[in-house]
Amino acid sequence: MLVVVKTSIYLDKELWEKFKAYALKNGVEVTKMLEEVIREEMAEDLIGQALIESGSLEACEIESSPLSLKGSCKQAD
């Protein structure tokens, strides 16, 4: 049986409104989407720590930047 807990958090109002709209647009309950975000964040950290501890990966930071498109983009038929 799944046990749930009701909690209160303080968030930037604009961010929260955008998050709720995003969930609605994607047809996902806000609670379910928030749970998934939390799980993903925790999983990334746990996987990274496991790789570091196993010696398969050294701790490192990866930087990235958005790609810029050159030329024009055409919609596929």
Buried/exposed code over 34-51 (b: 16+ C-beta within 10 A; e: otherwise): eeeeeeeeeeeeeeeeee
The per-residue pLDDT for 6 is 92
Below-70 pLDDT ranges, the chain: 56-62, 69, 71-77
Q: Which residue has the tokens 């939390």?
A: 38
The per-residue pLDDT for 40 is 87
First to last CA, the chain: 48
CB 26 within 8 A of CB 16: no
